[in-house]
Structure 1
């Protein structure tokens, strides 16, 4: 079963926003040259539909073995792109944001959700360089000051201190893993005393409007026997100052790909 919104669903959310707000955009794309990056890329182009060829002016892949993506960012700027879609993992996301700022390239920027960590991506890239970046979220971000007094985030921090003291609280995947585990807890509660594989799977496919503590407000988890994807909702957000500011409605993104 899937859990997070699919890469293609997320990419289509960005595509829809670009089509509405930047209809004459020149889109430059940085993407990781593997299944992860290509999946996002497909979702983005599918979202653009028959306008993809006209909108996309440059696609720059990178390998995970590369030291930096500086050359790709320079090439993207040279293409004349005024919209930058950054499909990369945290290390390379930070590099790309920082490099774009250093060379004076000021496109509208879109950043994939796996790299939204303030502590491990945006702060190293530089807050000045990160202003107005747009992404989409479904979970609270541990290093976002917006959640510093949030009771559920305090519970997560206490859990980390007790059970995973060596864990990296800057790593978004600690929040992710914690939330996946809570989904399993709810599934087991629904299964009751019948913990057979068949019944656990049945209940895993029977989650109804589950609100997890670390989900963004308004985001609910749902599954059914014909829809195994736990999360299909996201909300757009823009980086302002030192925090993410959510905007717009909760978006339902239907699944396409993994």
Structure 2
């Protein structure tokens, strides 16, 4: 074949069937079309952490609102949100279904420390993004070993250190007890307290009690902690057990100053089941505008949130911070996908997770999603808040940095 004829054949191929796929032909990952972006998720709609199911329901509703407004660049968001019962084996089973059968684009904010740990290896091996895993473990910022996973929440260990700093400043002779879930979530809190106390842990940390998710009650653990003589309780428990422990402590006449994980600082999901009056004075922390706090009544972002709930989650509690968490996570995912433009590949999603610098409505003033090539933790700020024993938390102090790198 002559050289001129060979070049002519190449030109014909380029005009019809390209020898090398163009970028435009490969801009979509699995689950993405010109009209739809299919996302997957597991959520504890049943089991001991079922109160967190409100997060998934509200995220689904948020995407419905976005779709009604035209979607993202003309593409509707479709969220397949499956129940994992807060069970790691069930979470793995459901995730495999979402990836292998449903062919979702990414896994969107799966909730729970045990479940996220169980699914992480499989998803990274298959190069499927887990975007904004809803857990406060610092390990979900381990980009070196798990490059396809990124968290969203402030870390549990950093929150524990902030509580301990406050205790050392305001009650330097305190006797501290810790009640924690016997998994990585709870152990991160214990580690944070011990790190911040240092040598003082020998005298100040007087009792530590854990519970298993399978236990029906935690009466005995709370009784043991009371017997220790502790006057401060750091409560690192999830919703069902947080409500139980608050109620039991009050009913047996033990009234330590409690510091409760932000993960369980829900009026509707925890304080009401516990008995609001039994939680009076309890301290927690937050990174968002608590919808039960009257100071936000005239705030535009709060009013938009209430309007959204009224329209798309009619009958659900606007004061339930688990609903607000779903709203915030939904908004965060929308911002990320918008930032991807038309390059909706899994690789680009993970690239964009390290280029975030955006405010999400209902985050506290001064708090934003921010990441970089060296910072893998989107939210790193917290402010203390105190429960009034009725229906709301009140902020106090300054917004503090909760970076796991501190």
TM-score (structure 2 length as normaliser): 0.58
- 1:212 Cα deviation (Å)? 1.1
- 1:190 Cα deviation (Å)? 2.7
5+ unaligned residues in a row in structure 1: which ranges? none
Name the structure 1 match of 2:164.
15
CA displacement 1:56-107 (0-9 Å, x = unmatched): 1111111111111111111111100011111111111111111111122121
Q: How many matched pairs?
A: 256
Name the structure 2 match of 1:223.
371
5+ unaligned residues in a row in structure 2: which ranges? 1-149
SS at match of 1:139: coil
CA distance in 2, matches of 1:249, 1:140: 14
Name the structure 1 match of 2:243.
94
Q: Which of 380, 385, 389 is the aligned partner of 1:232?
A: 380
CA displacement 1:196-252 (0-9 Å, x = unmatched): 3333333221122x2211212332221101111100000011112431111111100
Range 117-126 or range 140-149, more displaced = 140-149
Range 83-92 or range 122-131, more displaced = 122-131
RMSD of aligned alpha carbons: 2.3
CA distance in 2, matches of 1:172, 1:127: 15
CA distance in 1, matches of 2:317, 2:387: 22
CA distance in 1, matches of 2:295, 2:273: 19
CA distance in 2, matches of 1:48, 1:145: 35
CA distance in 2, matches of 1:65, 1:150: 42
CA distance in 2, matches of 1:121, 1:150: 25
2:287 touches 2:381 (CA, 8 Å); kept in 1? yes
Name the structure 2 match of 1:131.
280
1:107 lines up with 2:256 in the alignment? yes
CA distance in 2, matches of 1:75, 1:169: 37
CA distance in 1, matches of 2:316, 2:277: 28
Q: Label 1:146 to 1:66 Cα distance change in 2 as closer, same or farther (>3 A).
A: farther
Name the structure 1 match of 2:337.
188
Q: How does 1:155-166 map to 2 (within 5 A)?
A: 155-160=304-309, 162-163=311-312
1:146 touches 1:243 (CA, 8 Å); kept in 2? no
Q: Which runs of 4+ in 1 moved over 6 A?
A: none
CA distance in 2, matches of 1:167, 1:21: 38
1:43 lines up with 2:173 in the alignment? no
Structure number with greater CO (CA < 8 Å, separation at least 6) is 1
- 1:195 Cα deviation (Å)? 2.9
2:292 touches 2:393 (CA, 8 Å); kept in 1? no
CA distance in 2, matches of 1:204, 1:236: 28
Q: Which of 209, 230, 233 is the aligned partner of 1:60?
A: 209
Name the structure 2 match of 1:3.
152
SS at match of 1:72: helix
CA distance in 2, matches of 1:171, 1:39: 25
Q: Which of 207, 211, 214 is the aligned partner of 2:362?
A: 214
SS at match of 1:49: helix
